[in-house]
Amino acid sequence: MDAPENNQRAFSPNAFVDIAVRLAVFALLAWLAARAFAPFLVLMAWALVLAVSLYPLNRRLAAALATSKGRAATLLVLLMLLLLGAPTLLLGISFVDHALELYRGLSEGRVVLPPPNPALEEWPLVGDRLYAAWQAAAADFDKFAGNYQPQLHELSRGAAAAVGGTMARLLAFVGAFIVAGIMLAYAAPGEESSRRIFSRICGPAFGPQLLELSVATVRSVTAGVIGVAFIQAVLLGVGFLLGGVPAAGLLALVALLLGIAQVPAILLVIPVLAWLWMEGEASTGANTLVTGYLLLAGLADNVLKPLLLGRGLAVPMPVVLLGAIGGMISAGLIGLFVGAVALALAYRIFRAWVYAMEPERPSDTGPDANAG
């Protein structure tokens, strides 16, 4: 008679109410914590990506200087801020100044547009309308602005919002470098905490493998997407300079953005080559050499990407690439890393579940695993 009595006491209404209250308090606390952390989510995600990507470099720097990893992290972050952060901020400030000057010019009627190039009228589909609108704006901008006041007002509001958002992202990116430096200084305890979290969620055998996969995926995307896009942009920029192409630096920046977005750079090279042969002033031999160089540079990602993206991972390269592209489409640049990590982990867990196997040995997770 004691056992039923104990079971009845264990499942009494008071026990259910107690569990429900605890769960409600826990859910409320989690919701409040998520609301408080939400403004810093993107910054912390970028800081984590930077810390994971820069950790091997920080470790080599500490060994080369025979100093602690904390001091090496401080030096590394200062160098990164000097080489990347300062030019980025200066470029952003210059962009804001130009945007504000244009806005003031539109408000005060001081904008003077040069006449359009007659070749603009030959553009298919929209050339004639674009040429007529530009010609009207160049002839009498005040009248043009009066006719299109609602559209210009909406455009100026959108431009102001874009400028504000750009400056906020630039400041967040600089702040992410600083937070990444702190993470690098405390990399050892951070790694141990991450290992405990993964082991707690996925088990002590499978959890560390998923942690290593997450770290390797972030570094693979950094090298295989960002790194390849940067190398290709530099190669194309050199080619644009050799060919005397106008705005070579701007075109190289466009090539970098296209590479990050996984758009083939050859789509930018083809119009440049068309201009080179129709408008370029170099000789036929020089144009032939530059054309060959630009074609090779435009196709370089097809060689570099298989070498750097997904190398040594326990998932196939297309899985990482699809996750990076899908993540960027849905969440912007940070989605490159979040999407790749999420799809890689999902693929690894699903594969383990399908084959109902024990966690794979380290020897099973090398480059040959990509064949599966």
* CA distance linking residue 346 with residue 244, whole number of Å: 48
Extended strands (E) in 287-368: none
Confidence of residue 33 (pLDDT cuts 50, 70, 90): very high
Q: Which of 320, 309, 326, 371 is nearest to 346 (CA)?
A: 320
Which residue is associated with the tokens 């210059």? Answer: 94
Neighbouring residues of 341: CB distance < 8 A, sequence distance ≥ 6: 214, 217, 218, 323
Burial of 188 (0-12, 13-18, 19+ CB in 10 A): exposed
Bigger pLDDT: 188 vs 161: 188
Residue 296's SS3 state is helix
Q: What is the structure's pLDDT at 290?
A: 85
Residue 154 to residues 149, 159, 309, Cα–Cα distance (Å) = 8, 9, 42
Average model confidence (pLDDT) for the chain?
79
* CA distance linking residue 185 with residue 72, whole number of Å: 8
| Cβ-contact 52, 217 below 8 angstroms | no
Confidence of residue 160 (pLDDT cuts 50, 70, 90): low
The answer, yes or no, to whether residue 276 has pLDDT greater than 70, is: yes
Confidence of residue 278 (pLDDT cuts 50, 70, 90): confident
Q: Report CA 74 to chain centroid distance, whole Å.
A: 24
Burial of 42 (0-12, 13-18, 19+ CB in 10 A): middle
Neighbour tally for 361: CB within 10 Å: 8
At 178, the amino acid letter reads I
Q: What is the structure's pLDDT at 366?
A: 46
Q: Report CA 135 to chain centroid distance, whole Å.
A: 39
Average pLDDT over residues 39-57: 89
Question: Do you know the residue count of the chain?
Answer: 372
Average pLDDT over residues 4-16: 61
The one-character DSSP state at 333 is T
Neighbour tally for 276: CB within 10 Å: 22
For the chain, domain boundaries: 42-185, 196-371
Two tokens, residue 195: 């290992």
Neighbouring residues of 195: CB distance < 8 A, sequence distance ≥ 6: 207, 208, 211
The percent of residues in the chain predicted with pLDDT above 70, rounded, is 73
Average pLDDT over residues 202-220: 89
Question: First-to-last CA distance in the chain?
Answer: 59
Neighbouring residues of 129: CB distance < 8 A, sequence distance ≥ 6: none
Confidence of residue 29 (pLDDT cuts 50, 70, 90): very high
* CA distance linking residue 173 with residue 179, whole number of Å: 10
pTM: 0.69
* CA distance linking residue 119 with residue 58, whole number of Å: 53
